[in-house]
Chains A and B, each alone.
Chain A
Amino acid sequence: MQATERAALAPPAGARAEAPSEVTCTHCGLPVPSGLVEPGAPHQFCCTGCQAAYEILHEHGLDQYYRLGAPRGASVSPTGRAYEEFDHEAFQKLYIRPLPGGRAQVDLYLEGVHCASCVWLVERVPLLLPGVARAELEIRRSLARVEWDPATVPLSRVARMLDSLGYPPHPFRGVQREAIRRREDRAMLVRIGVAGAIAGNIMLAAFALYAGWGGRMEHQWQLFFRWLSLLLVTPALFWPGRIFFSGAWSALRTRTLHMDVPVALGLAVGYTQGAINTIRDSGPIYFDGLALLIFLLLVGRYLQQRGQRAAADGAELLYSLTPSSARVIEPGGATRMVPAEALLPDMEFEVRPGETLAADGVITAGRSQLDTALLTGESRPVSAGVGAGVFAGTVNLSSPILVRVERAGESSRVARLLQQVEESGRRRAPVVQTANRMAAWFVAVVLALAAITFVIWELRDPSRAVDNAIALLIVTCPCALALSTPLAVSVAIGRAARAGIFIKGGDALETLARPGRLLLDKTGTVTAGQTALVHWEGPDWVKPLVLALEAESTHPIAAGFRTAWPGVAAPPAGRTVHALGGGISGWVQGRSVVVGAPAFVRARADGESPAVTLPSDLTPVLVAVDGTIVAAAGLGDPVRPDAARSIAALRSRGWDVALLSGDAPMVVASVGRALGLADEACTGGAAPEDKLRVVEAARRDTRRAVVMVGDGVNDAGAIAAASVGVGVHGGAEACLATADVYLTRPGLAPLVELVRGAERTMRVIRRNLAFSLLYNIVGAGLAMAGVLDPLIAALMMPASSLTVVMSSWRARTFEGGGA
């Protein structure tokens, strides 16, 4: 009954939207809560972060930002950290590269970068500081490269500046691999450029030759253009085309047939025969076709490589996000910020409210509420006191604590989790792409056909046997076949990105096209992941009094009240007392107000609380004014409005949907019932390691795809181990980094779209394969019949590739479902 009652009690999604006014924030463009609207003021702000950012820009005459026409769309929430550790020696040694002339360079990973205006801000604002020479942002990976003069300005100033604009910086920890990767990318581009230039020029020569076909051209010119073609194609084959030969060679050595093998075969045979014919001065040359083939295949390979790059980049960004510093207590009692790398066991560090722990350890002083959602997925804060074990990556919510380090750096629990993520990412067997699966058959059939052609013609007309067999080998060179998958996939990925779905590799699409098991995290995935006021029973005049007490609290319950009533103005409160694990009491407008857990409030007030049975997954809160209980509230993490519909849609497509959460089993089961899932399909109380085990077990006992959808670092291991990992909107960036797919729109509806798009993409791939095979069959037939004209061969090869390009381009795989 609880589930249904809860659904009835829950305020409709629109209830919260009615409160904000029509006024929008000057800085970010979001609606300003009506409580914050200042009548008559030319500029309105939704929060102090936005106001501060606006003031920085206005003061330096950078109002032009607001004319760029793309409002930020997210409020600025600076962390307010000092970034002292950015000036520490250990940090300098790890991340900073000295440049000639006394300057230094660093790569910073910025959170919150998402649009064109961000580029403008990040590249301009740091230059306002004297001593900063250059700031450049790479928007795709949110990497900012900053060059500055350490003698004039410390890096921490630059970091604070970026932070105050809403881009908290982190050191980028993948610098070494970056250089290798960049070299590979450049080499590939050079290959494409060279192959393209050669292909274009051979085409010109070929055009002259075809125009003079049938003896309309003087022999000396024909000879000249044939030799010219040979001269041009040779570098194309031995420079850009070399990768197909080396690919085929390594495939043969490892006995795994790969699309490179038939390609290399076609190239080698075509080139040899063409060269012989040029020297003999008779018979067809195939150089124009070969050069075009090399160019198109390289383009296909480049598209594929870029997709895989995106996946690898993710792991590095993930590493950049673990907390990079800690406030260490020195023997004298003074505190000092040091990089997380410099923490050693038995050191003591202080963690202030709002900060993230940088190492595992034991609390030695203080008592506080901790948000462990990152590790355990538990949405409610956990209270911890002296002697309690705490872990890196958890966030301190309410009051300062001292922690003695037990395990730091690589041995901390979160670091080990991240290592598992990387390992399972490496272990994941690459999905053999359909085209490559066909390669073995393809080679066998083509070779058999060539042999048959040779034998038949040997019996009928021995002088044409070799020519015809070779013509067959060349015309069946699987250019379109090799292009069909990467083209369809990269077009689909592009369209998906426009619909707010970021896919890091084509493998994910192939896997998602066939239904399998779908494991959903609860907190933040099926639910919004934030404590919200779900149930309120009490008169309206109590609301300002509650807000007055909760205004300054960092507790999630307080945040829940604040977001629920943005339009209610809070009067000032006095003599407030925060009792940990209990509640807040204080005086507002001359009345004594108590807000908190039922036991805490009942101990300080009389009267019956309004008789409500709250669902078990809500946190109950009572409000007493002047010693009498006047209101009751239930706060919890409501299920996203589109979750039930989306899950039903997925199940109707054949997916086996289950919940896998770190939250209490009872809570998970009740959410599961609300979504129409059987109790067996709901697993609660799963630590990150358990999630990983569940996913691995699922992969062992089913041959179908296992898809994990989640939002936190606690899901990252499971996401990496799954056949396809999906990160949802608003998730920890760490989890998004390991995910194969990232949904930028909130809710689960994009998940349905993703599955549908993957099915459509596979249909396009199959259509492409069918087209290219059809061309090959026709070509092979003509060659076997001995009627394959070189002109027809030259037309057929590009025509087949062009068909595949058009078919991929026109396909409606992902249609925009709003921004």
Chain B
Amino acid sequence: MSVIYIVVPLALLVVGAAVAAFVWATNRGQFDDLDTPAVRMLHDDEQRRPPTGP
């Protein structure tokens, strides 16, 4: 059972990574507009230019 001493901190590390990823995504604006992307994915993107982000 002493494996718990290793597994639980490991799980906490994973959770920490997930939280960090979420915070990163939020601050990058991934959740700013929740309505348009839902619509946008319905369109085929054959005409789209390659991304030229800043």
- Chain A interfacial positions (CB closer than 8 Å to B): 62, 64, 68, 99-101, 103, 116, 119-120, 123-124, 127, 133-134, 136-140, 147, 182, 185-186, 189-190, 193-194, 197, 201, 218, 221, 224, 228
Contact = CB atoms under 8 A, between A and B. Distances in A.
Contacts of A218: 1
A790 B13 CA distance: 29
Contact of B33 (A101, A123, A138, A228): A138
B44 A64 contact: yes
8 contacts: A64-B47, A116-B39, A119-B36, A119-B39, A186-B31, A190-B22, A193-B19, A197-B19
Nearest to B35: A140
Interface residues of B, number: 29
A194 B19 contact: yes
A637 B2 CA distance: 83
A802 B37 CA distance: 30
Contacts of B26: 186, 189-190, 193
Given A68-B42, A100-B54, A201-B15, A139 B1 contact: no
B32 to A, nearest CB: 6
A83 B8 CA distance: 63
A139 B4 CA distance: 49
Interface of B: 1, 4-5, 8, 11-12, 15, 18-19, 22-23, 26-27, 29, 31-33, 35-36, 39-40, 42-44, 47-49, 52, 54
B52 A197 contact: no
B9 to A, nearest CB: 9
A100 B11 CA distance: 42
Contacts of A190: 22-23, 26-27
Contact of A140 (B4, B23, B33, B47): B33
B52 A221 contact: no
A201 B12 contact: yes
B54 A101 contact: yes
Q: Which of B1, B31, B47, B48 has the most CB of A within 10 A?
A: B47
A224 B32 contact: no
Contacts of B31: 186, 189
Nearest to B39: A116
Contact of B22 (A64, A100, A193): A193
B43 A197 contact: no
B13 to A, nearest CB: 12
A120 B44 CA distance: 10
Contact of B32 (A103, A120, A147, A185): A185
A218 B49 CA distance: 62
B18 A133 contact: no
B36 to A, nearest CB: 5
List 4 A-B pairs, minimum CB-CB distance, nearest first.
A116-B39, A193-B22, A140-B35, A139-B36
B40 to A, nearest CB: 6
Contacts of A116: 39, 42
A561 B30 CA distance: 51
Nearest to B40: A119
Contacts of A185: 32
B21 to A, nearest CB: 10
Contacts of A68: 42-43
A228 B52 contact: no
B15 A62 contact: no
B19 A120 contact: no
Contact of B47 (A100, A124, A182): A124
A781 to B, nearest CB: 37
B28 to A, nearest CB: 9
B19 to A, nearest CB: 5
A317 to B, nearest CB: 16
Contacts of B49: 127
Contact of B54 (A62, A99, A186): A99
Contacts of B39: 116, 119, 139
Given A182-B32, A186-B26, 16 more contacts: A99-B54, A119-B39, A123-B40, A124-B48, A134-B52, A136-B36, A138-B35, A138-B36, A186-B27, A186-B29, A189-B26, A189-B31, A190-B23, A194-B19, A201-B15, A224-B5
B14 to A, nearest CB: 10
Contacts of A103: 54
A197 B12 contact: no
B18 A197 contact: yes
A202 to B, nearest CB: 11
Contact of A120 (B33, B35, B43): B43
Contacts of B12: 201
Contact of B15 (A127, A182, A197): A197
A773 B19 CA distance: 34
A140 B32 CA distance: 11
Nearest to B52: A133
Nearest to A185: B32
B15 A139 contact: no
Contacts of A120: 40, 43
Residue of A101, A140, A186, A197 most packed against chain B (CB within 10 A): A186
A218 B4 CA distance: 13
Contacts of A133: 52
Nearest to A193: B22
Nearest to A208: B4
A134 B53 CA distance: 9
Given A68-B42, A116-B42, A186-B27, A137 B4 contact: no
Nearest to A197: B19
A139 B54 contact: no
Contacts of B32: 182, 185-186
Nearest to B5: A224
Contacts of A140: 33, 35-36
A613 B36 CA distance: 55
Nearest to B47: A124
A119 B8 CA distance: 46
Nearest to A64: B44
Contacts of A64: 44, 47
A232 B18 CA distance: 15
A231 to B, nearest CB: 9
A140 B33 CA distance: 8
A742 to B, nearest CB: 16
A146 to B, nearest CB: 14
Contacts of B36: 119, 136-140
Contacts of A194: 19, 22-23
A90 to B, nearest CB: 26
Contacts of A119: 36, 39-40, 43
A103 B40 CA distance: 25
Nearest to A132: B49
A182 B27 CA distance: 10
Given A137-B36, A139-B39, A140-B35, A228 B8 contact: yes
B50 to A, nearest CB: 11
A362 B32 CA distance: 46
Contact of A139 (B23, B35, B44, B47): B35
Residue with the greatest number of chain A CB neighbours at <10 A, chosen from B4, B27, B32, B43: B43
Given A68-B42, A139-B35, A186-B26, A224 B4 contact: yes
Nearest to B8: A228
A469 B31 CA distance: 43
A506 B33 CA distance: 21
A812 B1 CA distance: 51
Contacts of B8: 224, 228
Contacts of B47: 62, 64, 124, 127
Nearest to A136: B36
Contacts of A134: 52
Contacts of A147: 54
Contacts of B40: 119-120, 123
